[in-house]
Amino acid sequence: MSIDSSLSALTAFSTVQAVAANNVANSQTPGFQPSSVTLEDTATGGVQAAAINQSAASGGQAPGAGPVYNAQGQLPAGQSAAPSGTDLAREFTGMIANQAVFSANTAAITTAGRMTGALLDMSV
């Protein structure tokens, strides 16, 4: 039993989880653009993170296009920063789904290890 597809899923979804965590951590940062991960199939039947895409969703600004803060870290009078474009409900829902992916794939790896151990025990 090959565990390659489960290992590739764990690697890919750890990237998805890291990007979601970054989005949540920066959800209160004015002008922050949330990112997402594009997954793709591999030739061996696994999955990999193909790209990390920065959203141009509402609230987000292109890097360097945000307001200029003064030395005290405040916006000059009359300027306002756009809110973050992070949708916390979407991020947390995705993180819960990622937890299920991790659980399923670690269970598959654990089962493969037990089967290998049982096979070795029978052949000894």
Instruction: Give, to the nearest 10 degrees, the angle between helix 4-25 and helix 88-123.
Output: 150
Of 79, 74, 32, 78, nearest in space to 57 by CA: 32
C-alpha 19/C-alpha 99 separation (Å) is 14
C-alpha 113/C-alpha 101 separation (Å) is 18
Whether 44 has a pLDDT exceeding 50, the answer reads: yes
Q: Is-contact 37 16, C-beta < 8 A?
A: yes
Whether 55 has a pLDDT exceeding 60, the answer reads: yes
Q: What is the mean pLDDT of residues 51-79?
A: 66
Domain ranges for the chain: 4-62+81-123
List residues bridging with 40 in a β-sheet.
48
1-27 pLDDT, tens digit per residue, is: 579 999 999 999 999 999 999 999 999
Which carries the bigger pLDDT value, residue 65 or residue 53? 53
Q: Is-contact 37 75, C-beta < 8 A?
A: no
70-85 pLDDT, tens digit per residue, is: 677 676 776 666 678 8
